Amino acid sequence: MAVKWLSKQATTVEKRKEVNMKTRDDIRNIAIIAHVDHGKTTLVNEMLKQSDTLAEHTQIGDRAMDTNPIEKERGITILSKNTAVKYGDTTINIVDTPGHADFGGEVERIMKMVDGVLLVVDAFEGTMPQTRFVLKKALEQHLTPVVVINKIDRPGARPDEVLDEVLELFIDLGADESQLEFPVVYTSAINGTSSLDPDVATQEHTMKPVFDTIVKTIPAPEDTSDEPLQFQVSMLDYNDYVGRIGIGRVFRGTIKIGDQVALIKKDGSTKNFRVTKMFGFFGLKRIEINEAKAGDLIAVSGMEDIFVGETVTDPAHPEALPILRIDEPTCR
């Protein structure tokens, strides 16, 4: 069944390419979703190890994506983080997602940055409340899903029943027809194995089925790099040397170091500034870059009072993207 779904979804992507005409086939942008302890971070670690990203013999921690002290202590994701893996000629940008309704603002911003989601579900526990909340946000944004049923080696694993639960959840959350045709990959992330067949998912040390499914299924970003710039800030960071940093996606156009750009504030006012530094993501590091274009996920510095939801544009074409709508917090 998984192979059949993968074939259908790949055909859907090819049709989208025909409609969009010009795409960035060298990039895929995905968010990764999972309930606590379903193996999300372990899976990302293994993707890093088995990709063309890290230098040989590079050592990474057990929970490389959990950098916040509370995250490391409790094994949960609170703040979104980016990583990128190189698979052949394709860069796969992976954005981690908080798994709880209390961090709904983080989740909504992330979903605006990506074109698809990797849903990781424990082969024994099945779907859980946190899975439901974040997946709902992804489906509402019409993102393309890939399902990973992890811990296939776990005693009591029940992949067929869990797959049925996942399908029921998608239907319950109002997934459209194309989203219901999600491909399925079965993994044992802790052992570094994966397959499209649950019966052989523990046999070969490879993440190739995961990578291939992402590349075939997740839509490539539309290449509008020759149009006026639009870059929207989805997250903020701070560096003692460069000040406030806006992290987000280039939705349109091209941005370069030294460019004079316009920041459209939430109140509609405009401030001009010069781009002093830009960073891309590679492995677990930020790397300085000189240029980025439509589809890239980047970090930009040079403007002290930049805020989430604001748009960086071409001064000659100051066109703002819609302000990000964020749910009210569930805790008071």
Q: Considering the domain boundaries, does residue 63 fall inside one?
A: yes
Who wins on pLDDT, 180 or 54? 180
Quote the CA–CA distance of 188 and 117 in Å, as a whole number: 19
Is residue 232's pLDDT more than 50?
yes
Q: Beta partners for 23?
A: 222
Who wins on pLDDT, 199 or 328? 199
Which of these ranges, 58-67, 88-97, 98-107, has the smallest mean pLDDT? Answer: 58-67
Which of 175, 196, 217 is the last residue before a domain boundary? 217
Same domain, 67 and 212: yes
Same domain, 159 and 43: yes
pTM of the model: 0.84
Which of 217, 238, 257 is the last residue before a domain boundary? 217
Quote the CA–CA distance of 92 and 242 in Å, as a whole number: 27
Taking residue 143's Cβ as centre, other Cβ atoms within 10 Å add up to 21
What mean pLDDT is predicted for residues 172-187? 97
Are 224 and 82 contacting, i.e. CB atoms less than 8 angstroms apart? no
The total number of structural domains in the chain stands at 2
Quote the CA–CA distance of 7 and 316 in Å, as a whole number: 44
Q: Considering the domain boundaries, does residue 332 fall inside one?
A: no
Same domain, 52 and 125: yes
Per-residue pLDDT tens digits for 49-88: 998 875 544 445 544 544 444 334 444 433 346 899 999 9
> Chain-wide mean pLDDT for the chain?
84
According to the model, what pLDDT value does residue 191 have?
A: 96
Same domain, 95 and 182: yes
Q: What is the CATH number of the domain that holds 235?
A: 2.40.30.10
Same domain, 204 and 286: no
H or E element in which residue 325 lies: none
Same domain, 292 and 186: no
Same domain, 171 and 272: no
Same domain, 120 and 240: no
Q: Considering the domain boundaries, does residue 95 fall inside one?
A: yes
According to the model, what pLDDT value does residue 4 have?
A: 44
Per-residue pLDDT tens digits for 253-280: 999 999 999 999 989 999 999 998 999 9
Q: Is the CA virtual torsion 57, 63, 66, 70 positive or negative?
A: negative
Q: Considering the domain boundaries, does residue 129 fall inside one?
A: yes
Quote the CA–CA distance of 31 and 57 in Å, as a whole number: 27
According to the model, what pLDDT value does residue 110 have?
A: 87
According to the model, what pLDDT value does residue 299 have?
A: 93
Are 114 and 108 contacting, i.e. CB atoms less than 8 angstroms apart? no
Distances (CA, A) of 221 to 4, 28, 32, 135, 297: 25, 7, 17, 21, 11
Same domain, 143 and 246: no
- What is the share, in percent, of the chain residues with pLDDT greater than 70? 80
Q: Considering the domain boundaries, does residue 319 fall inside one?
A: no
- What domain range is 91 assigned to? 2-217
Same domain, 189 and 237: no
Q: Considering the domain boundaries, does residue 209 fall inside one?
A: yes
According to the model, what pLDDT value does residue 54 have?
A: 59
Query: How would you classify the pairing of strands 193-195 and 230-239?
Result: unpaired
According to the model, what pLDDT value does residue 38 have?
A: 83
H helix intervals, the chain: 2-20, 40-50, 69-74, 104-111, 129-140, 159-172, 177-180, 208-217
Is residue 136's pLDDT more than 60?
yes
Q: Considering the domain boundaries, does residue 55 fall inside one?
A: yes
- What is the share, in percent, of the chain residues with pLDDT greater than 90? 60
Same domain, 64 and 121: yes
Distances (CA, A) of 157 to 33, 124, 131, 208, 253: 20, 4, 18, 22, 47
Who wins on pLDDT, 172 or 244? 172
Same domain, 71 and 125: yes
Q: What is the CATH number of the domain that holds 66?
A: 3.40.50.300
Is residue 3's pLDDT more than 80?
no
Burial (CB count <10 Å: 0-12, 13-18, 19+), residue 216: middle
According to the model, what pLDDT value does residue 2 have?
A: 44
Quote the CA–CA distance of 206 and 100 in Å, as a whole number: 30
Is residue 89's pLDDT more than 80?
yes
Q: Is the CA virtual torsion 309, 143, 168, 209 positive or negative?
A: negative
Which of these ranges, 2-6, 76-80, 92-96, has the smallest mean pLDDT? Answer: 76-80
